[in-house]
Structure formats: structure tokens, C-alpha cells
Structure 1
Amino acid sequence: MEENGGIRQSVNGAAGASNSVANGSGRRLTDDEFERYSRQMIVPGMGKEGQLRLINSRVLIIGAGGLGCPAAQYIAGAGVGTIGIIDGDVVEASNLHRQVGHSTSRIGMKKVDSLIAHLKALNPLPTYVPYPFRLTPQNAADIISKYDLILDCTDNPVTRYLISDVCVLVCKPLVTAAAIQKSGQLTVLNCPPTPQGLVDGKYAPCYRCCFRKPPPPSSMVSCGEAGIMGPVVGMMGVAQAGEAIKILASALHIPAEAGGGDSSNTERNLQQPTLLIYTYDLESAVGPYTFRALKMGGRKRNCFACGENSTLTLEGIKAGTPDYVQFCSAPAPAVSLPPEERITAAAYHAAREKGELPEHILIDTREKEHFSFGSIEGAINVPFGKFLMKAAAIKRDGGPASEILPADAATSDKPIFVVCRTGADSQETVEKLKELGLDRGGKRRIVDIVGGMKAWKQEVDPTFPYI
């Protein structure tokens, strides 16, 4: 503030005006907004104009978990005017190490309500819109079409393909990310938004352009099974927020043809799409993390969603075409083990207690981290991932099948019982052991424990630390 010729100049630069500033639409920054966002507005490239664009913007965050919480915090902190959050889950204690928008006191509350309570305490100025249910093909278009930019903070391919398809059809930019264990990835799609069928190498791709086929179901594991480091998913969520703020403040969410971004330089709006990959190394004392940015191609002419001959429509999506669940799934392999090669957790425990089981070998195929929390007495840990790699190598290169198990288990004629986490891996392990001839032509019994350690906790020992 300074005096100039007797006329008081406000921080907005308007002589004789109150502390507010107008943009082209007449929207003015309030004193509260100036104070709250001042450090952001003085960053080169932001300014008052960029801040006003944020305040006038609407962002939808799909998923209020490990990605959505940090993304929402920085979106709200930056002053985006309207923030929609959609999630159908409730807060659990196991969420809290990474889902930093929730708290112990809100365990059991809807995640949407919990996160909005946290955001209101951080910044009460934006309008928060809760959607306490899951995104579906029937409601996706109606919700997504109300927002300027979408953040995909979900954790499954079914929803990712649905979100991307709808964003193409309603012309919305999409910032999508994923994280598991110690790595994460992020990319910006359909930005600036381009109508379906308009194909040119310079236009940003959609999710289907980058991932034409979903990963096989066998490779898709949840955080509950594979684990997740909080800083990894947090880093990706923060990066999503950063991309969203940049896009909105620069008006890159508006098609270049409609004046998005710097209309004097269209090429600025058509940036090279990249896939950002982040890796966190827990076992290295030096260089604990790495970032890689991989260049991606533009829209594909034959893309199912955005290509020039695409038949994808909003009406079709609502009617169930495509079937996203079927597209992302593969036929589940039929359980081929006969009843005599399976035993329930309760029956196995009872037989052990009564001394009715012959001396045998118990193989636990959980990963070593799961195994370290607890196991059935006498179990030998043979991690499933390493087991499959060894089995493939023996089948490909030859070598003694006995190398796949510890020496005493491989050379013995004792029966083998196999247990895993939930009962799926153990069945495949039994079949592989038989394929490798370790059943001695049917003379050696190899048995799957139905339901794995999850069933053990439910049927035998409720205090077992199942993770």
C-alpha cells in the first residue's frame, strides 16, 4: 500500500477501490483470497489472472484414497473454486498411513465426508460437492460433464477405462495416476480436450491410446495384497494436483480452437504427452528415489474411444456397451483339483490336533513380508512369485525339479500341504508341483488348504495377524 498524490492505491492497483480486483468476467479477489493465495500469485506464470481462473474452475476428484487425499489438499489449498469428490468407501485404520486426508477419529465415516471435513478446515472458501457412492457407467457422464478437469485417483482398470472414455466424449482433460508398492506413474490425457474423431499426431491421447489392452487379471493386485508405501502414492497425488493447477491456471483445459491457453501460440497448448514414472528404493542408502519421463505418442487413428471411426457413445456406455468388467477380466481358470487334493483350514487344524495327519511338509506361498507376521507352526516359506519363476526356468531350460523346493522338502516322500494368503495361489502351486513330477506319479500326496490364511483366521484362530 502506498500514497500517491493523495490517492490511496490498493494492493490490487485500483485507485480508490477496495481490496479487490476484477478479471474480464467481473470476478474480484477478496481480501481473504489475497491474503490466502498471495504467495502463489507472485509465482511467475500465475499472477492474479491465473488465480482467478482457479477460483472460477471446477475439479472432480474420483477416489478419496491414497492419491485423492494429497491431490485434494493441494487443489483446495490452491483455491480451486468448486471441488467434487466421489468415493463409496468408508475410512479404515489400514488407510491412515497413506490416506492423509482422514484421521483416527473418523474411522467408519464415509471417505467423502471425512476428506471434505479435512479440506474445509484447510480452506473454507471453495465449494465442496460430495458424491458418497461409486462411479458407474450409468452416472459417470452426468457427473463428469459438470467439471472442467478430472483427476482419476482410482485403483482399478475398470474405472480408469470408464473415466477416460467419458472424458473423451464430453471433452474434459484427465490427469490420471497409479501407485503400488514402491513405484507410481502419472500422465495427462486429452489435454487440451479434443472432440472424438479428430485425430492428428499433435493431439494428446486418451487412456486407450496408451493402454489398448488392460493388464492380465493375474497381474492386478491391490494395495491390501501387494502393499504400498505412503510417500509413493502421496508423491503421485501431489503431482496430479500440480498438473491440474497448471492446466487450469493456463486455461489449457479449454480447446485451443476455443481460445484455451495462449491463443497466440497454439503449439504451447499441444505439449508432448509424457508418462512420469517414480520409483522409491527402500533398500538403498544413496539415491532413494528416481524419476523417469517417457515420451508418449499422440492420438491413435484406430483408437476405440477417440479414433476417427469410433462408435463409442454416452448412450452406449449407459446401456452397458462396452462392458468394462468383461473387458478388464479374463475367464477365471476352473479349479481342477479333485476333492481329495483339497482340505479346509478347519479340517486341517483338527486333524493336526488329533494327530490324524501323517508327518508332512507344509509350504506357505505368501511373500516373505506377509509370512513374517505369522504362520502355521512348521510352515516353510516359498514365495509364490519366486516359485513361478523357478518353475518356468525348469520348464524352459531343464534341470532337476527338486530345485524348486528346499532340499528336505524336494527329496522327501512326505505329503505336501500348500497354503497361501486367500486360497488361489496355493491351487496353482499344487498343479505346478504335479506338473514337475514332485507327486511321484501320484504316489505322493499334494494338498491345497482351501481359503488360505484368510480362512485360517476365520475358521481356526481369530487372533492370527492376517494382512
Structure 2
Amino acid sequence: MGQDTGNHNGANGASVAENSAQDGLARRLTEEEFDRYSRQMIVPGMGKQGQLRLINSRVLIIGAGGLGCPAAQYIAGAGVGTIGIVDGDVVEMSNLHRQVGHATSRIGMKKVDSLISHLRGLNPLPTYIAHPFHLTPQNAADIISQYDLVMDCTDNPATRYLISDVCVLLCRPLVSAASVQKSGQLIVLNCPPTPQGLVDGKYAPCYRCCFRKPPPPSSMVSCGEAGIMGPVVGMMGVAQAGEAIKILASALHIPSQNTENGPERNLQQPTLLIYTYDLDSAVGPYSFRALKMGGRKKNCFACGENSTLTLEGIKAGNPNYEQFCSIPTASCNLPPEERITAAAYHAAKEKGELPEHILLDTREKEHFSFGSIDGAVNLPFGKFLMKAAAVKRGGGSARDILPPEVVDTDAPIFVVCRRGLDSQETVAKLKELGLDKGGKRKIMDIAGGMKAWKEEVDPSFPFI
């Protein structure tokens, strides 16, 4: 099923569940519902009323990947009545080690359809709604307004800020998580939902209250770039489901009618849960830390007392989320004379047309270990940037961060990375450090990185 945009609630705080809550809690559970949900209904604090609230609720899961799959499984298993899933991607082989709602037989299928197929096998009772496209500033409000609670299971900062902003304006609680490599984090935001402009330390914050500025572009790496451990992202997805079930069963997702003084109920101290999985430790392989977060900020761009953020503005492109997060693009920032294709580099090298030169491979050491171009020197991009920044601050030189064979010769430098973005920035940094010797030394980027090498030169290369 596609989206139904006819049920659009504005920023007046009216929840989808609020209108029918009394009717829903008055009905009787069916025999199948008693059988299916009995073990969780007998848990103290849940009971029949809590279960009926779940059945009467509508949850939106944005992202059908490593977080969204385990989150959706437990949301469906718990009996949430309507579950919407947003994702524009298709299932790939590399997803399957962590995205446990998909299967080998469904490779190539849209992720929303694959996950819903899996969930129906688990529990056929909920209504499942597929939104088989990416969330954008233009469609976010229309989709989110149909649901009572939102679960952010995405993997990029721009979308996280967009989701939070819309949840503030529509008075929807948000359960947000993120995970990469060996760590993850989880936080509950805007719960109980509070109208925009009501500011007090007792009100729950939005995403911008907690993270006023996005991380630097150089630190924004996807799971494809940095890697991800399946149990880590699975742990965060399961934790998201637990928080969502708690909120829905206790009716904390329904905004207070008292919009003048804000919610009459206060959630516990907002907490950022951080989970770390240590592959290198034989003892104590994981750890949890809970950091207390403050309440709403008076000067918050989204929920503060003087906020000018509107749904209409978001749809019109204000704010520009990608610009705010400085998302790197595939556009070329170097002039043509500082770039060479993978095929041209290989041909020149094979014909002996290249003089003695240095090839720097800026992939992380794990990527580098699977294979590299003959003669390449590994210079991990993240460490290089940090060292270059330290040199700039402390007044050091290139000798402090680069091997002598790179600094002490005039040999041309060629730089390659995974997909052709990091290498361009590396070329620019090397020039800033004076390695081009005033333009006398050639520093070149291999366009398209090792992905292009596989496509243009060596199809057997193990590109990961």
C-alpha cells in the first residue's frame, strides 16, 4: 500500500490516537489477541489497557535497514495496530549480516516490501503501510502526520534534523538512534509532545536542543565506508522498540490539551544512551553509558520561544538541511589538470609513461587490507585529516604526519580513495601543506577511486 495523505494534522498537537483512544480502550480483545499478547500483558504496568493502547496506535519507522529491521520486528510482535515504513532503497547482499528483516531470496526487492513481508509472517494482525521512497522536506509532514509516534532509523544527520523538526511542529514524540562501526546511541525526544515555543527545563528536548551543530563533514561516514557490527545496530533497534512500546502503552504520546502551560505529565530526565562493543577485549566485551541531557532550549531553532520554523517553510526548502550539514557531494572540486581516470593511470603505468611516483591510498586500513594497487602506500583519510589539523593549529610541518619518502622527494603524488571524494580533499590538503612546492610538483587525484579501478581496470578487484 502507498501513503494516504488525506489525514493531515497540523501543529495544533492533535494526535491520531487521541480522537479514538476512548473507543479503542473500550473494546474487547479477540481470542487470538489474548493468545498472541498474553505474555506481555501480564507484565506489571502493561495489562489489558496498555495492550489496547498499542493496538490502537500508529507508528512510523523511517529506515528499513540495520536499525529499522529489529525495531519493526518488536513493534509488530508487540501488536502495534498500524505500522508505516519509509525507505527508498532495495535489498542488497551486503545488507544481510545486520538487516535481519530481509532475506537472500528477496535481494533486489524494495526494502519496505521485503520487511513488510517478513513482518506479516511474524504477526498478520497489524496494518502495514509501505512508503517506498526516501523522506524529503516536501513529503515529511504529509507522512509523519498520519502517525502517533516516529522512530528515526536513518543513517544521516540531514534526515535526522528534518525528522525532528517536523515532529516538533506536528507534536509527535520521536525515538532516535544511530549506529556505526562498534558503537550506537539512543535518545527519546519531544516526549511528552509539547507545542513549539513552550520552553522550560521540564519539557523534553528536540534533536536540535541536544545537537545544535551537526558533526563535521569529514566524520560523516556511512556503514558502507566505516563498517558496522550487526549486534551493535541490532541492540539499538531493539532498544528503540522498547522505548516506543513504553511510550505508547502509557499514553505519553498524546499531547496535553493544556497548550498554554504545556504537558501536565513529565517524562524522566532525557538521557542519551551510548552502547559500545569492544572487539579487542576478551573480558567485558560491551558497555552502556547514560548521559543526562538538558530540557528544551529557549534559543532552539526548532522548538524555542522565538522559533520561525514552519511546515510551509520546510516544504519550500527553508532550512536547507543538506547545506546545514555540509553533506559532501560527488561533484569535482579539482581542476581537470589535477585529475586522472583510473584507466588512464593504469595505461600510463603499464606503458612505462609514468615517471617514478608515489601512490597514496587514503582508505582505512581494513579496506586497504583486502587489496590495493601495486606500490600503494596506505594513508588513512581520517587520521590524516586529524594530524593535518593538529599541524595547522600547532605550527608543525608535513614531516610530522607523512612518511619521509613523500616529503623528501619531488616525485609526483597520485591519490586514490574508495569512491573519489576523500582523495580530492587529500590533494587539497597536501597542497596546503606545501607538498606541491609552489606548483612545481604534480599532485593528482585518481577520479572515482577504487570503485572506478574495479569498473575500468580490474573487475576482479575486491571492492568493499
Q: TM-score, normalised by structure 2?
A: 0.88
1:39 alignment partner in structure 2: 39
Say if 1:137 and 1:394 are closer, same or farther in 2 by CA, change over 3 A.
Answer: closer
Say if 1:170 and 1:432 are closer, same or farther in 2 by CA, change over 3 A.
Answer: closer
**8 A contact 2:330–2:421 mirrored in 1:** no
Q: Which runs of 5+ in 1 are unaligned?
A: 1-21, 260-264
Aligned mate of 1:382, from 346, 365, 379:
379
**8 A contact 1:216–1:330 mirrored in 2:** no
Q: How many equivalent pairs are there?
A: 440
Aligned mate of 1:300, from 287, 297, 300:
297
1:354 alignment partner in structure 2: 351
2:190 is equivalent to residue 193 of structure 1 = no
Per-residue deviation, 1:94 = 1.0
| Partner secondary structure for residue 450 of structure 2 | helix
| Partner secondary structure for residue 199 of structure 1 | coil
| Partner secondary structure for residue 44 of structure 1 | coil
After superposing the two structures, state which structure 1 stretch, 72-81 or 418-427, moved more.
418-427
Say if 1:199 and 1:435 are closer, same or farther in 2 by CA, change over 3 A.
Answer: closer
Per-residue deviation, 1:356 = 1.4
- Rounded to whole Å, the distance in 1 between the matches of 2:395 and 2:323 is 37
- Rounded to whole Å, the distance in 2 between the matches of 1:210 and 1:251 is 24
- Rounded to whole Å, the distance in 1 between the matches of 2:88 and 2:248 is 27
- Rounded to whole Å, the distance in 2 between the matches of 1:350 and 1:29 is 72
2:3 alignment partner in structure 1: none
Per-residue deviation, 1:206 = 1.1
1:178 alignment partner in structure 2: 178
Aligned mate of 2:273, from 247, 265, 276:
276
**8 A contact 1:72–1:241 mirrored in 2:** yes
Task: Tell me the C-alpha RMSD between the 2 structures.
Answer: 2.4
| Partner secondary structure for residue 366 of structure 2 | helix
- Rounded to whole Å, the distance in 2 between the matches of 1:58 and 1:45 is 20
- Rounded to whole Å, the distance in 2 between the matches of 1:415 and 1:386 is 22
1:59 alignment partner in structure 2: 59
| Partner secondary structure for residue 214 of structure 1 | coil
Aligned partner of 1:36: which letter? R
Aligned partner of 1:433: which letter? L
Identity of counterpart residues, as a percentage? 83
**8 A contact 1:362–1:380 mirrored in 2:** yes
Say if 1:239 and 1:310 are closer, same or farther in 2 by CA, change over 3 A.
Answer: same
- Rounded to whole Å, the distance in 2 between the matches of 1:440 and 1:402 is 14
Aligned partner of 1:465: which letter? P
- Rounded to whole Å, the distance in 1 between the matches of 2:178 and 2:292 is 18
- Bigger CA radius of gyration: 1
1:19 alignment partner in structure 2: none
Aligned partner of 1:56: which letter? N
1:214 alignment partner in structure 2: 214
2:454 alignment partner in structure 1: 457
| Partner secondary structure for residue 84 of structure 2 | strand
Say if 1:199 and 1:124 are closer, same or farther in 2 by CA, change over 3 A.
Answer: same
Say if 1:338 and 1:308 are closer, same or farther in 2 by CA, change over 3 A.
Answer: closer
1:424 alignment partner in structure 2: 421
**8 A contact 2:359–2:413 mirrored in 1:** yes
| Partner secondary structure for residue 90 of structure 1 | coil
After superposing the two structures, state which structure 1 stretch, 103-112 or 314-323, moved more.
314-323
Q: Deviations for 1:90-138, whole angstroms, at most 9, x for unmatched residues?
A: 1111111111000000011111110001001011111111111222222
Aligned mate of 1:309, from 266, 288, 306:
306
Per-residue deviation, 1:400 = 5.8
**8 A contact 1:193–1:255 mirrored in 2:** yes
2:282 is equivalent to residue 249 of structure 1 = no
- Rounded to whole Å, the distance in 2 between the matches of 1:266 and 1:194 is 10
2:112 alignment partner in structure 1: 112
Say if 1:148 and 1:419 are closer, same or farther in 2 by CA, change over 3 A.
Answer: same
Q: Deviations for 1:217-252, whole angstroms, at most 9, x for unmatched residues?
A: 232111111111111111111010000000011111
Q: Deviations for 1:289-326, whole angstroms, at most 9, x for unmatched residues?
A: 11111111111122222122222222222233323233
- Rounded to whole Å, the distance in 2 between the matches of 1:332 and 1:126 is 39
2:318 is equivalent to residue 321 of structure 1 = yes
Say if 1:248 and 1:282 are closer, same or farther in 2 by CA, change over 3 A.
Answer: same
Say if 1:400 and 1:61 are closer, same or farther in 2 by CA, change over 3 A.
Answer: closer
**Correspondence list, 1:361-372, <5 A:** 361-372=358-369
Aligned partner of 1:352: which letter? K
| Partner secondary structure for residue 138 of structure 1 | coil
Q: TM-score, normalised by structure 1?
A: 0.88
